[in-house]
Structure 1
Amino acid sequence: MRQPLFVTALAATAIALAAAANLPEPSADIKAAVAASTRTPANLARDQYRHPAETLSFFGVKPTDTVVEIWPGGGWYTEILAPLTKGKGTYYAASPWPDGNKGVQNKQTADAATYGHVKFAAFPWAEGQPKVPDGTADVVLTFRNVHNWRMGYQRGGTDYSGEAFAQMFAMLKPGGTLGIVDHRLPESASDDREKSSGYIKVSTIRRLAEAAGFEFVGASEINANAKDTADWPKGVWTLPPSLSQKDVDREKYVAIGESDRMTLRFRKPR
């Protein structure tokens, strides 16, 4: 299928951004996956905020890897990671069991050619549920989810982020990579805001990761947004894509764009 012109333009922009930020240029495999004809137009439109090619390149993701995506939701990154790993690597979608992977399962049902190889696992895992085998993953990725664990989403408000990091540590091979993107709360803000705003501090994620045994490798500003002050009426959901205020100041929030995000890379020691 012929690619739309805006896909080509996005690819060119990705290369320019990578050079400007001193990031590794995305591989041909990553570029091809980001430009896959099977991606939905609505998801393509959000590349300007999520910079998938640069983000995956920063995390060192390769098509031959065993990649675990924690809580893929509707499958935004699945549309890239499934084509990237097809025929070469392994891709797990890991979500609350049994219904958390419905978004990705629906994609698999609709397009087995693209998504038929996707494996499913529980996260957080509990006895009797399918799991990513310990010590088998090259890369574990989670996009905008650590704040949910900190807020106790699906656990009645009880913080279970420590458990989540321990399980991600267990599934990785020695030397494996943990890549995290999340909504960034300023370090000067009250810690209490992590419990309700959807934002979380870099220092909190580093503390959680290092407590689980991870080594911090580095950070990228590729997903930063200086327009986001992280102090909105309905937390991060005030901004796109949620726009929880509906028509109230809608143009203002659309102009700001999606949230300011940290992009952090960790490693399981060898």
Structure 2
Amino acid sequence: MSIIITKKTAVFAILFSVLSLSAFCDSAVDNGMVFQQLAENEQRSSEHRARNVYRNPAETLQFFGLTEHMSVLEIWPGHGWYTEILAPFLKQHGQLTLAQFRHNDGSLKSDRSIFWAKVSERLAQRIDENSDYFGTPQLVELDPPAFYPELTDQFDMVLTFRNAHIWDEDGHLFATLHSIFKALKPGGILGMVEHRAARLSDISSSAVDGYLDESYVIQAAELAGFSLVASSELNANPADSKNYAKGVYALPPTLAMGQVNKAQYLAIGESDRMTLKFVKPAQ
């Protein structure tokens, strides 16, 4: 069968392409507006809303390409700062899964593990008590480097905010990234925000606790199988000198130095952060 392309057919084809692109752009703009509205929603505490200026959630989620029909895994949501935006956005047409800290079955030994297990329990309870807002996110556990239950080819997008330095400190960065790679569907996106170390040269960097070298993170992700799609300076902070006695934890929101130089750290704001978008190749 032959297809004859007339001038009228070509015009309609061009018009359709333009309208499709316009609809895509309108959808992206609309999502940005929805992200911003959810970030400013009074369901969130005033403390959480005050951090919007540092964490740029609407712009960050737009950069990663989040849409309402996706199946999304948020890793270690902590107190639910991003969950408060992701859950209501996805609850009607998509699916949010939270990879929480390991549940305390009595075997946890470290104070940090016990603390974060309690944080996870409180977030799960809050979600359950406010299901009209949050919907019904699914819950799994991440005890680096493994997910429990094991996850394979399940998600369109995995999001991790300021977690990679912890995996690296414990020697699990590559293995955890490999587990994330397995959890994503082919063509799926990994969106990562992480404290960024000071770059000294093409082969070296320097920073104290909590910071990671951007090239090192990219190489680890690529070794796990990912391809870097794009990087952004959305969450950069040039005022962060990265040379504090308690590392990144001296800065807000932790303010680990207490009253010592508190005004200085507040003036600096939250850390300088890399924002990286990776893809799991389709083949």
Matches within 5 A, 1:130-141: 130-131=149-150, 133-141=151-159
Superposed CA deviations along residues 137-179 of structure 1, whole A, max 9, x for unmatched, are: 0110000010000011xxxxxx011111011101111111000
Which segments of structure 1 move beyond 3 Å, counting only runs of 4 or more? 24-29, 124-129, 189-194
Task: Give the 3-state SS of the residue equivalent to 1:179 in structure 2.
Answer: strand
Q: Which residue of 1 aligns with 2:248?
A: 236
Q: Which residue of 1 aligns with 2:89?
A: 84
Is 1:200 the equivalent of 2:212? yes
Match of 1:94 among 86, 96, 99: 99
Match of 2:186, as an amino acid? Answer: P
Q: Which residue of 2 aligns with 1:112?
A: 131
Contact 1:29 1:63 (C-alpha < 8 Å) held by counterparts: no
Superposed CA deviations along residues 33-55 of structure 1, whole A, max 9, x for unmatched, are: 32333222110000000000000
Structure 2 CA distance, aligned partners of 1:169 and 1:215?
11
Match of 1:88, as an amino acid? Answer: H
Contact 1:223 1:263 (C-alpha < 8 Å) held by counterparts: yes
Is 1:149 the equivalent of 2:167? yes
Q: Which residue of 1 aligns with 2:25?
A: none
User: Number of residue pairs matched?
Assistant: 239
Q: Which residue of 2 aligns with 1:129?
A: 148
Match of 1:197, as an amino acid? Answer: D
Match of 1:248, as an amino acid? Answer: V
For the aligned residue pairs, the C-alpha RMSD in angstroms reads 2.2
Higher helix share: 2
Q: Identity, % of aligned pairs?
A: 38
Q: Which residue of 1 aligns with 2:195?
A: 183
Superposed CA deviations along residues 196-233 of structure 1, whole A, max 9, x for unmatched, are: 61000101110110000000011110100010011111
Match of 1:232, as an amino acid? Answer: Y
Is 1:165 the equivalent of 2:165? no
Normalising to structure 2: TM-score of the pair?
Answer: 0.79
Q: Please, which runs of 5 or more residues in structure 1 have no aligned partner? A: 1-23, 153-158
Task: Give the 3-state SS of the residue equivalent to 1:58 in structure 2.
Answer: helix
**How far has the Cα of 1:125 moved from its partner?**
6.7
Is 1:41 the equivalent of 2:41? no
Match of 1:63 among 57, 60, 68: 68
**How far has the Cα of 1:65 moved from its partner?**
0.7
User: Which is higher, the Rg of structure 1 or of structure 2?
Assistant: 2
